[in-house]
Amino acid sequence: MTARLLVVDDEARTAELTADLLRRAGYTVDVAASGTEALERVRAGSPDLMLLDYDMPDMEAPEVLDSLRSGGSRIPFPVIILTGARHSPADQVLGLERGATDYIVKGTDRQVVLARVHGALRERSGSPGAITRGRLHVDASRGEARLGARVLKLERRPLMMLQLLANHAGDVVSRAELLDQVWGSSYRGFEHSLEQAVHQIRRELREPGWIETVRGIGYRFVARS
Amino acid sequence: MATGSSPGPEARAELAEGLHRLRSTLARVRAELEVAIGDGEAPPVERLLSDLRQALEVLGDVEAAALGVVRVLVVDDDERLGELTARGLRRMGYDAEASGRLRSLRPREVVVFDLGVLNSLDAEEHAALTVARPIVVTGAADPGARALADDLGASDYLVKPVELEALVAAIKRRMAE
């Protein structure tokens, strides 16, 4: 199944050119012409990724992000902001807390745009569908995890973390990447939560060896029969 | 929207130079198109596209100089980690790009350099990197790595895993020099 993207831009020509670039790369693309229309479309069904113009007459990107986030602490799909303006670090306008995944300045090389879209989709933690590794079955989007027949009682973040690790079975996933993918855009103060989440996962699995600590780097999922 | 500190003399000179180049390039694009239309011929699309690419690059230089945008190149042989770091920096307002190898630097670009890439540098690149006074990142805290970093004229030395806050602090120190 190809990823479904939503392009949001009030300039029809810009929106179509962006959509065309993405369709040529094999994505299924919908277009929304305003922030309001974008929110309506998301209510009807979440896209796999949103490309959001910063400046629109009805609302600016931060407002759209705030609306998308309302009710949950994290937007369930990556949002890449397209902006015509550069921002200095002092502004923090695009800031850490709004929940956007990435930023692209308009006029950026098309290959770079595709690489960033591809990267954001690949890194997406709640990747669609379930994953089975040995006796372990995880489906974070449904809030389920089982080891054999036994249901694992995991909160949302440990569950997302387990799915992310299982998706990269055999590879080390860095602490930075886990914080980025599971805890969202803020890096501050979540180191402790990360350790607690690992502790919770190991306790629920009740068998040693599934999650290895790679000192100073991160964690590795080891598939066991 | 962006309001960096007002540009210093060096940035003002860059700004004037950039605006001059931008105007020349755009004037050339316009003239090419007017000539093509006047002659009833197809415009030289490839050349115009190359000019527009250059104009956008110069515009980036002008914006950086005028708005106090800090540009960062993250060089790391682990592409995923490099892109993750660059993305984190972009979220914090930096104009950051990741690359698996050293490329030619943009004006006043800060370089975050993973020592793992050191062996891929030729003499010219090595010299350019030393002039840039990179922030050196390494996977191991052994004294050898420290000496290599010093040899590169490193402005800072960070051991992986590098927290984004520590990296931002190092970038700020580098910019304050």
Residue in B with minimal Cα distance to A179: B163
> Which residue, of B67, B83, B104, is where some domain finishes?
B67
Question: What pLDDT, on a 0 to 100 scale, did the predictor assign at position A132?
Answer: 86
Q: Do B56 and B105 fall within a single domain?
A: no
For residue A70, give every residue at least 6 positions away whose Cβ sits within 8 Å of its Cβ, in sequence order, or none.
none
Q: Is residue B3 part of a domain?
A: no
Which chain A residue has its CA at the smallest distance from B2's CA?
Answer: A87
pTM: 0.74
Q: Are residues B18 and B85 in the same domain?
A: no
Alpha-carbon distance B14 to nearest alpha carbon in chain A (angstroms) = 17
Kindly determine whether residue B1 and residue A87, on different chains, have CB atoms separated by under 8 Å: yes
- Delineate the domains of chain A, giving CATH numbers in brackets: 4-122 (3.40.50.2300), 131-221 (1.10.10.10)
**Looking at residue A184, what is its pLDDT?**
63
**Same domain, yes or no: B100 and B148:** yes
Burial of A121 (0-12, 13-18, 19+ CB in 10 A): middle
- Taking the CB of residue B16, how many other CB atoms lie within 10 A of it? 12
Could A176 and B163 be called an inter-chain contact, meaning their C-beta atoms sit closer than 8 Å? yes
The C-alpha atoms of residue A121 and residue A125 are separated, in whole angstroms, by 9
Q: Find the CATH number of the domain harbouring B140.
A: 3.40.50.2300
Asked if residue B56 and residue B31 are part of one domain, the reply reads yes
Sign of CA dihedral B131, B70, B163, A118: negative
Distance of CA B141 to the CA centre of its chain: 27
Domain assignment of residue B120, given as a range? 71-176
Is B2 a domain residue?
Answer: no
Distance CA A72, CA A99 (A): 11
Cβ neighbors of B166 (< 8 A, separation 6 or more) are B158
Residue A89 has its nearest CB partner, among B87, B92, B164, at: B92
Residues B41 and B16 in one domain: yes
Contact A159, A145 (CB under 8 A): yes
- Residue B80 CB burial class (10 angstroms; 0-12, 13-18, ≥19): middle
B83 and B146 housed in the same domain: yes
Judging contacts by C-beta atoms under 8 Å, the chain A residues touching residue B60 are 86, 105
- Edge-to-edge, what's the strand order for the sheet holding A218-221? A172-174, A218-221, A211-214
CB within 8 Å: B90 and A91: no
Mean pLDDT, consecutive 10-residue stretches, chain B (177 aa), reads 58 89 94 95 94 93 88 89 86 89 91 92 93 89 82 89 84 91
Residue B171 shares a structural domain with residue B153: yes
Closest chain B residue to A190, measured at CA: B163
pLDDT tens string, chain A, 225 residues long: the values are 589 999 999 999 999 999 999 999 999 999 999 999 999 999 999 999 999 998 899 998 889 998 988 766 678 888 999 988 766 665 555 655 677 888 898 888 899 999 999 888 876 644 556 788 889 999 887 788 999 889 999 888 899 899 999 988 888 888 888 887 787 654 555 677 788 889 989 999 999 899 999 987 889 999 877
* Residue listed under structure tokens 């800060």: B110
Q: How many domains does chain B have?
A: 2
What confidence tens digit (pLDDT) does each residue in A169-196 have? 888 888 888 887 787 654 555 677 788 8
Q: Is residue B28 in a domain? A: yes
Taking the C-alpha atoms of residue A54 and residue A176, their distance in angstroms, rounded to an integer, is 27
Question: Helices H, strands E: what count in chain B?
Answer: 6, 5
**Nearest by CB: A86 against B67, B81, B160:** B67
- Contact criterion met (CB below 8 Å) for B72 and B89: yes
Are the beta carbons of B70 and A89 separated by less than 8 Å? yes
Residues B81 and B165 in one domain: yes
Q: Is B126 inside any structural domain?
A: yes
CB contact set of B102 (below 8 Å; sequence gap of 6+)? B73, B75, B111, B113, B117, B120, B121, B125, B128, B129
ipTM rounded to 2 decimals: 0.80
In this complex, do A176 and B67 lie within 8 Å of one another by their Cβ atoms? no
pLDDT at B97: 94
- Identify from A49, A54, A88 which residue to disrupt to test chain B contact, counting B C-beta atoms within 10 A and taking the largest count: A88
